[in-house]
Structure 1
Amino acid sequence: MNFKIPGGSGMTSARTRTRLVERLRSAGIANEDVLAVIGEVPRHIFVDEALAHRAYDDVSLPIGHNQTISQPYIVARMTELVLGGPGRARMLEIGTGCGYQTTVLAQFYKTVHSIERIGGLARGARERLVELGVHNVRLRHGDGSRGQPEAAPFDAIMITAAAPIVPEQLVDQLAIGGRLVFPVGVEEQELRMIERLDDGYAETRLEKVRFVPLLPGVA
């Protein structure tokens, strides 16, 4: 990781980032590689300048278009879960948003395919990825609810919006041993993980979460 980080010294100081990493470690994030990446990715460039002073708090923040950037704990938690899959060649992210989670994932996978349904967010995320020198993301403006079967199978799939039901069409796009991590539910949401096995699937129910809903179509 060698990011060119814009912004003032207060937002980019090692002390500010170390505090966030220690907070996440105390909250149960155990993967030290994930913690190291969280400590390096400049979260403040993914939010509005007026909110940049809160970028390294462990909170979600608005990014426009009625969407949010997930809190760092959730980004780290979902990342360490998908990394338990069979390889690091190709992964699929449904819901690019501002590109923060995308940038974290790009440090671990050879290629990240990311789909964002909102054109304004897709354009902004693409600009930030270029600014940071992240070149292994294939970002597409489109409907991600059906995945990207033409690029499957994926070693991992992550959905960053809450699906009302388990998305079976995405499960089918996993490689053997691959993991799908996603929030499911409407009013009550739960983080789940599905692993594709040689002879079927295994589903693990995790913690309660709160995400914006997964919507079809483009905007």
Structure 2
Amino acid sequence: MSYLLYALAGYLSGSVLYSYEIPKVFCGIDICARGKDHNPGAANVFRYAGPLPGAVCVALDLLKGFLPVAIAVQRLTPDSPWFGLVLAAPVLGHAYPLYYGLRGGGKAIAVSFGALLGLLPELTPALILAIYYLFFSLVAVIDPHFYRSVITFTLFGATVALWLATPSYTIGCVLISVVVIRRHFARYEGEKPSVHLGPHHAKQQERENHR
């Protein structure tokens, strides 16, 4: 029962869409209406509301994933398979938020990092996810972001399942991957994928495409 209560608390924490509410309340901007992908995420806050609101929203999205998991790590047994649900709960809340009728949730990338960082001092899952994102953002650059995120979270879930010896972390990370990938497909708009070697090459290709 304790695990379910902590999972519920994490889900409710994740259900607060700061990246939608903050620009709407403080800037009078509905980023879902303005954004092409209609996503209530920090990227659209940066794009339409500016760097300061964007940075605040990123911090809050990280925090709403971090706090429920970090508190649960101190008070529950992380080795229990039920802890996997606690780990994934904030991400599930962001993707399918209760306060918005289980619809209109975000792609849940920042909150995923927040939840994984909540496992401190265990940083392996967060580092795996970060390494894949950096590789596909700086080395073999996958565009657009839809494909980059889907491939990153697919490899993240598979790597954790094959590498980590803690079943609860594996369950949680695989659940996170499934939720994030589903949310990306829900907002898929038929973009075509491309792969570039390094960010400079990607920018050069982009300039050539606009000539």
Higher relative contact order (CA 8 A, sep 6+): 2
TM-score range, shorter chain: under 0.3
Q: Which structure dedicates a bigger proportion of its chain to strand? A: 1
With the length of structure 2 as denominator, give the TM-score of the two structures.
0.27
Q: Which structure dedicates a bigger proportion of its chain to helix? A: 2
With the length of structure 1 as denominator, give the TM-score of the two structures.
0.26
Structure exhibiting the larger radius of gyration computed from Cα positions: 2
